[in-house]
Chain A
Amino acid sequence: MISSQMLKGTLEGCILGIIDKKETYGYEISQKLTEYGFGKIAEGTIYPLLLRLEKNGFILATFRQSDQGPKRKYYSLTQDGKNEYLKFIESYNELTTSVNTLLADNKGENL
């Protein structure tokens, strides 16, 4: 299980990536995250993040009629959102490269 501290920094970016693929809603996003191996992420964990992304103008919410019951909120990426997602990818790649370098360097000393 991935530590929540590590998840904290990356979850928003990952959500942007999921929304980038296609317009989607809260529960579907949490399902996709589980599929990708993030473990069980409750929709309630995602909701505040979606709110923040929406308030920052990165995603747009539209109400669509669902098969039964009331209208459901669907999210799509705005242009600012796309840019933010690209920034996230760049940051993340930088981070993983640095961490991998550090781990490789420590490999000999710790075993």
Chain B
Amino acid sequence: MNNIKTKKLLKENNKFEKNLSKESTKVLTDIVVYLRGSAISEYHQEEVRRDISQMIFDGEKRNESVRDIIGEDYKSFCDEIVKSFPPRSKKERILELLSMFFQMLTTLSLLWLFSSLIVVFTGNENIYKLPLTLGQIINGIFISIGSIAIVTFVSKTSFNKPIEVRKDKKLKSFFIYLIVFLLFWGYFQLLRYFSKTVLLYLPLYIGVIVAIVTYVLAKILANLE
């Protein structure tokens, strides 16, 4: 969340939400999470959040529940809201994607800095000649895609009821956990193998420069409108 306007509105919304009942706050959280994965900008999401909080607040004063105010189907309510916004222009989409891209680069360069510093402190490498390995690149891509996938999944399933594991499904879920564990184990073996391939040697300060530059770029792009 790099946009200044959005941050300000977010703060105001957080403050106002304290006036709502616990039950309403739960529903509002589900709504906000769902909207985070939708096609509208973060600023519009916060605007909608402000409006809905206001509606719920007034409704509570009239002793109405969230169901009375919003209706039964929270998901369609959100879908209707998203539909009512004009689609974002190509320029807006590109700016947003670029900002996100640079944000990720900042994180990844900090990761590289961190692991390189560890290597330096174990006394093994020259700080002007730190390796950037294929394994690190692959891991960086995997982390980036994975984090986007997780956030998207969490927001799309925001209104789903929590999954109950029935007794007879316990064996099936055990196998799922086993497979996931094996996949991760396999992935880490792969990474170890590719970590032997060094693509470049870089001085430590390059990591710092890249982190700073990408951070600034992400901030600038997020505040261009």
Give A contacts to B, CB under 8 Å. Answer: 26-27, 42-45, 47-49, 51-52, 55, 69-70, 72-73
Contact = CB atoms under 8 A, between A and B. Distances in A.
Contact of B85 (A26, A44, A47, A51): A51
Given A69-B57, A69-B58, A73-B51, A45 B85 contact: no
Contacts of B55: 26-27, 43-44, 47
A42 B70 contact: yes
Contacts of A72: 54, 58
Given A42-B69, A52-B84, A69-B58, A47 B51 contact: yes
Contacts of B86: 55
A73 to B, nearest CB: 7
A52 B48 CA distance: 12
B81 interface: yes
**Which of A26, A43, A55, A73 has the most chain B CB atoms closer than 10 A to its own CB?**
A43
Q: Interface SS of chain A: helix, strand, loop or mixed?
A: helix
B1 to A, nearest CB: 22
Contacts, number: 47
Contacts of A42: 68-71
Contact of A44 (B16, B77, B84): B77
B59 interface: yes
Nearest to A54: B84
**Which of A49, A51, A52 has the most chain B CB atoms closer than 10 A to its own CB?**
A51
B175 to A, nearest CB: 42
B18 interface: no
B161 interface: no
A77 to B, nearest CB: 18
Given A44-B69, A44-B71, A69-B61, 14 more contacts: A26-B55, A27-B59, A42-B68, A42-B70, A51-B84, A51-B85, A55-B84, A55-B85, A55-B86, A69-B57, A70-B16, A70-B54, A70-B57, A72-B54
B80 interface: yes
B170 interface: no
26 contacts: A26-B55, A27-B55, A27-B58, A42-B68, A42-B69, A42-B70, A42-B71, A43-B69, A43-B70, A44-B55, A44-B69, A47-B51, A47-B55, A47-B81, A48-B83, A51-B48, A51-B84, A51-B85, A52-B84, A55-B85, A69-B61, A70-B16, A70-B54, A70-B57, A73-B51, A73-B54
